[in-house]
Chains A and B, each alone.
Chain A
Amino acid sequence: VTTPETARQLRLREHQLFLILSIVVGVLAGLSAVLFTVAIEQASYRLFGLAPSRARLFAVPPILSLVTGVLLARFFPDVRGSGVPQTEAAYRLEGGAIPGRVPIGKFITGVLCIGSGHSMGREGPSVQIGAGLASVVGRWLRLPPRRIRELVPVGAAGALAAAFNTPVAAVLFALEEIIGDMNAALLGSAVVASVASVIVERSILGNEPLFHVPAYRLVHPAELLAYAALGVIGGLISLLFTKVLLGLRALCLRLPSRSRILQSAVGGLIIGALLVFNPAVMGVGYEYVDQALNGGLLLKTMVLLCFLKLGATIVSYVSGNAGGIFAPSLYIGAMAGGAAGMIVRQVAPFPTADPGAYALVGMGTLFAGIIRAPMTSVFMIFEITQDYQILVPLMVANMLSFVISRRYQPVSVYHALLHQDGIHLPLPGTQAAASGRTARQIMRTRILPISPELSTEQAWQQIVDRDEPGYLVGTADHLFGVVTREQLAEWRTIGKSTDRIGSLVNRHFVHVHPDHPLDIVLDRLSEARGVLPVVSRADATRVEGVVTADSLLAARANRSADA
């Protein structure tokens, strides 16, 4: 039997061990990020050589996309795209559980996709690989679920720190994006992992900033107006990128799932054609960002590359390949900023900084507008370039871009991507309120859905004796939508009696998740015409219960009885 003092010492030791584990996870995540970077460079060199022919540029992406398409469809279906939203979902919804195949699959497919010329970044995959390794380590150590979950952002921070050589930005990103809380208690562990990771990365690759940039500064106070304009432009380009990406991805997702391999190959084919037209959009593309930052590109080249990269990244992403959007957002931003800087230099009636300074700020604006992590963006640019002279213009432009992007695209790209996959992450407000009464405590779990295979007439016959305002259509594992009594009556009268109800029902239905607080449930219930499905966050088509006016009253009555 141990004394309270011994127990206290054990708890203290537990914290110390977790801190040590954070260091080890940081080191492993950093090593994985370094290895991932090196592997991509090697793959790119092996596939394309130093100066590839047109035929090679055209042929490599589709052939490799076919290979990765098979890998992604058959073996690693959960490693498509960036990896950041999946990591976020794993942290928030799955208790940090990331299967061991995820980091392996992401590494292999990421190297093949990016190395074969797809216009994607290596940082998002690094985050998923680092987080996946952390989760695997946590489970191997048989840690409790809480600790496994806590290791996920720690691994993510470590990986990002090494991928970008940006320890501070990586910690901020883990807090801002993965955890969604800047005051998180995990700050200490994330910092430790990030520092360990960067030490490892620098000891292997050297302490070189990602980009070499001259010491830019604000040349004239009026230049802030130009930077503000750049912020607006950055916000609009971010919007364009996000909207087109989400729109085309939604279209691709509607195609039959068996076409996924073909989609990857078609994406590769388009990328091959783009590479023949202009190889500068290949892969991560940091050497061109470097050129833009150093004033090495012409105005027309930068404008062309801005839009080519935007298109290439969208194609690579929506065709289901594995790679991130960090690097493309920096690339597009650098080109847009550099072009804006050249124009400002030509027309401004006041002295201005070199176009490279605008390229630098442009990188930040696109990052803030697309990734929606403004604090991370500012610190990342600062750390990447190791130059703080441009901090004020950067903050001005970033904030404007962020505000514009959020105003016209309220859901961030990562959350919207998850949404398209049927995963609904809780908003910060939801998390805070979850300590009160939630939908889980109000919902009725006995559900009698209507089969989607029934005709309207058959469905009508099934519900004609039931006295409910609306009915769920589908099964408990796959909800198609909600239909009201009035809708069924109307479809019968307009000649749709024989139509399958599954084909008529609107698949965009109002719903809540089990952790939604009472006030949101009440709001949504009023929009939902009396029946509000409660669906899983990890799979928005899986029904966990239903809230109706009756279930609310029943919950109220039960509570009174308990009291």
Chain B
Amino acid sequence: MVSAVSSDNSADRAALIHREVIQLAVLVFIAVGAFFVTKAVAANNRNLSMRNADEWYQRGEQLAEAGRLDQAVDAFRRAMVRNRTNRTYLLALSRALAQKRDYESARTVLLTVRASEPEDAEVNLELARVSAARQDVTEALRFFRDALYAPWRPDQGERRRAIRLELIRFLLTHDQASRAQAELVAASVDSPDDVAHHLELADLFNQAGDGHNALAHFQRVLRLAPENVAALLGAGRAAFDLGEYPLARRYLREVPSDVDAAREIREVADQVVSRDPIAGRIGARERHRRLEANLTYLQQRLVDCNAQHGQSVSGGRYALQNDLQSFRERLRRSPTLDQDTIEAGVDLIDRTERDAIASCGSSTAVDRALVLIAKQHGAASQ
């Protein structure tokens, strides 16, 4: 640097520069000292800011609990401004906004964080919930998946499983049963082998329409706790839905008699098992008897139905009655039945039940059992 003393002599200039180097060194020393002082002051200020942020957060929580959501949002925002790196504040803010049904703002807040932390499971989960509330199924699914496949620590398996179950419930409520089944299979793999988890999975499999897996999980529960009523009932229902009526009856009979939910289905299962003419491991006589009994019951049902409603007999109904009568006579004539005759009988049962239900409405356990029998054996009218 050229000194203020205007000198053309380079020797003087050299001396001056030497002096300036010393001055610069002093300046650097001052700057370093100032740096540490400023750093200490700033750290102190940062701590104060953190404390203030926490105080605002606590207030926000209290306000949110009291239902004062506008003020809660304001408090959470103040907390966030003072400590931007704290995800708890941010998530609290987004939840408060979502509670206010201000889903757009909640989403904006969460997307801001996601921009810097795209793999944050909690943020993605909150985003998924907000998207679900906004009825944006595609986006919700994307964020649920991002949350699910975020880098989880080994000790966070339970949390991850809970998110998967939340995703499954979301899929079920949005008619995405096949996707839900796929997630359920994945959930089964990393699920702990205990009663509560198997019951939960079994219930979800049931809702997803996967009776086999539902039954398997109920059975797993029964192996762990043979007298678990929920599992007995669930297994009975699952087996019933799968057409495994003897199995269903077995489970349902184990359910205490005071459980109303089991009573009706147990009756129907009993009727199916005792009335099915095509059931395996029964003799020809029994097959004949069951068919005969079913047709007799239906003949009487049509009579009752006509009497109950005072209806004049229609052409179709008349034909059905004739068919029933002629089929019964046919049974009387031939004590042994071939397969075609039995199937024709089941088909007639099905047609008659449908007609009776259509005109007379409510049906008994026997009626429901007969419909199920026909359905199970693929009656011609199906």
Chain A residues proximal to chain B, CB less than 8 Å: 1-2, 6-7, 10, 13-14, 17-18, 20-21, 24, 27-28, 31, 34-35, 38, 41-42, 45, 50, 137, 140-145, 147, 200, 203-205, 208, 212-215, 286-287, 290-291, 294-296, 354, 356
Contact = CB atoms under 8 A, between A and B. Distances in A.
Interface string B353-369: 00000000000000000
A13 B81 CA distance: 47
B31 A24 contact: yes
B48 A42 contact: yes
Nearest to A143: B1
Nearest to B8: A7
A140 B30 CA distance: 13
A25 B261 CA distance: 83
Interface string B229-244: 0000000000000000
A134 B1 CA distance: 15
Nearest to B111: A214
B375 interface: no
Interface in B313-339: none
Point out which of B34, B42, B52 has the most chain A C-beta atoms below 10 A from its C-beta. B42
B4 A143 contact: yes
Contact of B27 (A7, A24, A144, A290): A24
A290 B38 CA distance: 26
Interface string B1-44: 11111100111011001001101100110110011001101100
A142 B3 contact: yes
A45 B52 contact: yes
Given A31-B31, A141-B23, A38 B1 contact: no
B56 interface: yes
26 contacts: A2-B9, A2-B14, A7-B10, A10-B13, A24-B24, A24-B28, A28-B34, A31-B31, A31-B34, A35-B38, A38-B45, A42-B45, A143-B1, A143-B3, A144-B3, A145-B4, A147-B1, A147-B2, A204-B38, A205-B42, A212-B84, A287-B77, A287-B81, A295-B104, A296-B105, A354-B104
A295 B55 CA distance: 24
Nearest to B105: A295
Contacts of A42: 45, 48
How many chain B residues sit at the interface, stated as a range, is: 35 or more
B31 to A, nearest CB: 5
B57 to A, nearest CB: 12
Interface of B: 1-6, 9-11, 13-14, 17, 20-21, 23-24, 27-28, 30-31, 34-35, 38-39, 41-42, 45-46, 48-49, 52, 55-56, 73, 77-78, 81, 84, 104-105, 108-109, 111-112, 115
A6 B10 CA distance: 8
A188 B42 CA distance: 30
Nearest to A200: B35
Contact of B84 (A27, A35, A147, A208): A208
The 10 closest A-B pairs by CB, nearest first: A2-B10, A287-B81, A38-B45, A214-B112, A142-B4, A27-B31, A295-B108, A7-B10, A31-B38, A204-B42
A335 to B, nearest CB: 15
A24 B104 CA distance: 47
Given A14-B2, A14-B17, A215-B115, 4 more contacts: A38-B45, A141-B23, A142-B4, A214-B108
A203 B104 CA distance: 35
A31 B45 contact: no
A486 to B, nearest CB: 51
Nearest to A215: B115
Contacts of A290: 77, 81
Contacts of B41: 35, 38
A21 B45 contact: no
B45 A10 contact: no
Point out which of A213, A215, A294 has the most chain B C-beta atoms below 10 A from its C-beta. A294
A89 to B, nearest CB: 22
Contacts of B10: 2, 6-7, 10
A18 B77 contact: no
Nearest to B78: A287
Contacts of A296: 73, 77, 105, 109
A10 B108 contact: no
Contact of A20 (B24, B38, B48, B81): B24
Given A204-B38, A212-B84, A294 B109 contact: yes
B17 A34 contact: no
A2 to B, nearest CB: 4
A137 B1 CA distance: 13
